[in-house]
Amino acid sequence: MAGYDDRDGKIWMDGALVDWRDANVHILTHALHYASSVFEGERAYGGRIFESRAHSERLINSGTAIDMPIPWTIDEIEAAKLEVMKANGLGDAYVRAVAWRGAGEDMGVSSMRNKVRLAVAAWEWGAYYGDAKTRGAKLDISKWKRPSPETIPSHAKAAGLYMICTMSKHAAEAKGCGDALMMDYRGYVAEATGANIFFVKDGEVHTPLPDCFLDGITRQTVIGMLNDRGFTVHERHIMPGELEGFEQCWLTGTAAEVTPVGQIGDYNFEVGALAREISDAYEARVRA
């Protein structure tokens, strides 16, 4: 497949559809230098974006959190996403909405005079972790930690928060792993580089408390599904040493969907019945 800068199709930018190859920004775009950017990753199934409005709402809230008010309404963002999918003839697709500070009068840390821009792209994208849904993903343990919420608005889906995720995933891939588990600044289990994490022990589910990282939309959906099925879900701080006692594990995220985990560092997990049940149930739900 061609690189993401060299494809046929249309991308929505600042209110209009443009040819894919013409969806460019200037080299002095503020976001390129100072990470003034927020984004959403979404999946469409059969022409319908799962939890689309929740994603648009979070995009607006993320912009506000990093002092970058986005000058489009939720309804306008929703319409743009549907327009892009229609223009590209997509039914099952990954949808990326991104807002950023563009080039303008300011080229320092301060950027209040630079226009906030918005784009929406969509493309076909298969399983994020390849065949891990059947055999279980293999994770490294990252040396980088999720930062304190006193250092950055950790509830925002902001580009700058992903720098250490990229570094962690590169290190993991070099070891033959598909992703990396990250701890938080206190040493508690946090999340993977682009997905939340769940564990099973004695028929009950445990998942890290999202007090310094993103409370994912898929994470919230899966917790609701588990509650509806009568499972006890513990949202709590989890110490790394507890990994040895967990029986099953899975990741959740828009890209990851629900992906079982077979190994984290030296710890092994069964790709068990509950992980498979929730993965299958989530697949049925998004396509309902």
Positions annotated as catalytic residues are 157
Among 164, 166, 155, 196, smallest CA distance to 63 is for: 155
Phi-psi sector, 196: left (phi>0), alpha (psi -120 to 50), beta: beta
Task: Let me know if 149 is exposed, middle or buried by CB neighbors in 10 A (0-12, 13-18, 19+).
Answer: middle
Give dist(CA 122, CA 42) in Å, integer. Answer: 9
Give dist(CA 260, CA 269) in Å, integer. Answer: 9
Half-sphere exposure of 286 (CA within 13 A, CB side): 27
Cα(first)–Cα(last) distance of the chain, in Å? 30
Residues 6+ apart with CB under 8 A from 263: 136, 137, 138, 139, 269
